[in-house]
A = this chain, B = another copy of it.
Amino acid sequence: MVRPGVEFVRLALDAMGTDRAPEPEVAGAIEALEAYDGNDIEIVLVGDEQAIRAELARHERIPPGIHVHHAPDRVTADDSPASVIRRKPESSIVVGLRLQAEGEADAFVSAGSTGAVMACSLFTLRPLPGVDRPPVGTLLPTAGELCLLLDAGANIDCKPQHLVQFAHLGSIYARDALGRAKPRVGLLNIGEEPGKGDDLTIQTHELLAVEQGIRFIGNVEGRDIVKGECDVIVCDGFVGNVLLKFYESVAGYIVALLRTELDKVPDRKVELDHVFRVLDYAEYGGAPLLGLGGVSIICHGGSPPKAIHNALTVAARAVRSELVRHSREDLPILS
């Protein structure tokens, strides 16, 4: 999937996104560059230059490939997402995305306000032809491999053709960024048979069943998600968002239950690191915005360095595999 010509990658990282910015961003960027051994990757930390340089100074060794791009302003939780592009044009989100639009970077990664990153990405990177509603994807841990669920909250009240677009965009992302050869696509529904569901899922099933260019495996129920039989699951953004937030909290709840029990045993012999790792969202690579003329990946506001590192890795992979070109070429013009 990797085009030989796209070896060198330049990633713009919003350094002001996390709750503890710029500490996790700087640490994650350094960790990423060290892991890649500095080869063919550059990371541009976008944000308050003074704060970023102060944070960099706390690290013993700065690998080559780290750059800083000053952005004086910062988006906060109080900003209305839709107004950021107009009211905070010098914020790290807008500046970071602009670098990509102007060809100075190949991808943008941010742990800032999800709504603001979505709105600004949409405005700056623009939807590709054939994409009415760019969706946001999220990676869910399963008994098999990670499953890309989309839309995870960008679009509520979807129409059947939107879900068909999600199926295409998800398939291309699963192939290019996740390395799945022939991604299996499921439609989230409340029954297995084709006639089950609400108007949206019944009509979407009819469309997906005859759609070319995707490998549709039919309806999947809530209980099927963790089985890992799908690479991509499509649903409208309301259901996807509820599910995503629920999964995160359930995993956290169960891990908390476990820790309470484990803490009662001082000389414990059970190592549950593996379990915790499977449920640890920091392992996964952020939530990609799909169907845009560029790469934009959103991380949690609470992301530790490892999560930033992973999102950068996914972003680099998306760039190298030419996700955007494939999305442009492979997506049928449906609407």
| A265-286 near B? 1/0 per residue, CB < 8 Å | 1011111101100110000000
Closest to A258 in B: B275
Q: Chain A interface secondary structure, helix, strand, loop or mixed?
A: helix
Q: Are B225 and A246 in contact (CB under 8 A)?
A: yes
Q: Are B245 and A243 in contact (CB under 8 A)?
A: no
Q: Are A221 and B197 in contact (CB under 8 A)?
A: no
Residues of chain A at the chain B interface (Cβ within 8 Å): 142-143, 153, 156-157, 188, 190, 197-199, 201, 221-227, 235, 237-239, 241-254, 256-258, 261-262, 265, 267-272, 274-275, 278-279
> Known contacts A222-B242, A239-B242; can you find 15 more A-B pairs with CB under 8 A?
A190-B237, A190-B241, A221-B241, A222-B241, A222-B244, A222-B248, A223-B249, A227-B249, A243-B246, A246-B247, A254-B254, A258-B275, A261-B271, A261-B275, A269-B269
Q: Are B157 and A198 in contact (CB under 8 A)?
A: yes
Would you give 10 A-B contacts (Cβ < 8 Å), ordered by A? A142-B253, A153-B190, A190-B238, A222-B242, A222-B245, A223-B248, A225-B249, A226-B246, A250-B251, A258-B272
Contacts of A275 in B (CB 8 A): 254, 257-258, 261
Checking B242, B258, B274 against A243 with a beta-carbon cut-off of 8 angstroms, the contacting residue is: B242
Checking B201, B242, B257, B269 against A188 with a beta-carbon cut-off of 8 angstroms, the contacting residue is: B242
Query: How far, in whole Å, are A248 and B243 apart by their CA atoms in the complex?
Result: 13
Q: Are A156 and B190 in contact (CB under 8 A)?
A: yes
Contacts of A156 in B (CB 8 A): 190, 197-198
Q: What is the minimal beta-carbon distance from A236 to any residue of chain B, in angstroms?
A: 8
Q: How many copies does the complex hold?
A: 2
Query: How far, in whole Å, are A284 and B190 apart by their CA atoms in the complex?
Result: 22
Q: If the complex has contacts A254-B254, A254-B275, A261-B274, are A198 and B238 also in contact, measured as CB distance less than 8 A?
A: yes
Contacts of A258 in B (CB 8 A): 258, 272, 275
Contacts of A235 in B (CB 8 A): 242
Closest to A242 in B: B222
Q: Are A250 and B247 in contact (CB under 8 A)?
A: yes
Contacts of A268 in B (CB 8 A): 269-270
Checking B142, B190, B271 against A242 with a beta-carbon cut-off of 8 angstroms, the contacting residue is: B190
Q: If the complex has contacts A197-B238, A270-B265, A275-B258, are A221 and B250 also in contact, measured as CB distance less than 8 A?
A: no
Contacts of A198 in B (CB 8 A): 156-157, 238
Closest to A252 in B: B226
Checking B226, B237, B245 against A250 with a beta-carbon cut-off of 8 angstroms, the contacting residue is: B226
Contacts of A248 in B (CB 8 A): 222-223
Q: What is the minimal beta-carbon distance from A249 to any residue of chain B, in angstroms?
A: 4
Question: Which of A188, A227, A246 is packed against the most chain B CB atoms within 10 Å?
Answer: A246
Closest to A275 in B: B257
Q: What is the minimal beta-carbon distance from A238 to any residue of chain B, in angstroms?
A: 5
Q: What is the minimal beta-carbon distance from A97 to any residue of chain B, in angstroms?
A: 23
Query: How far, in whole Å, are A258 and B278 apart by their CA atoms in the complex?
Result: 11
Q: Are A246 and B246 in contact (CB under 8 A)?
A: yes
Q: Are A270 and B261 in contact (CB under 8 A)?
A: yes
Question: Which of A248, A250, A251, A258 is packed against the most chain B CB atoms within 10 Å?
Answer: A250
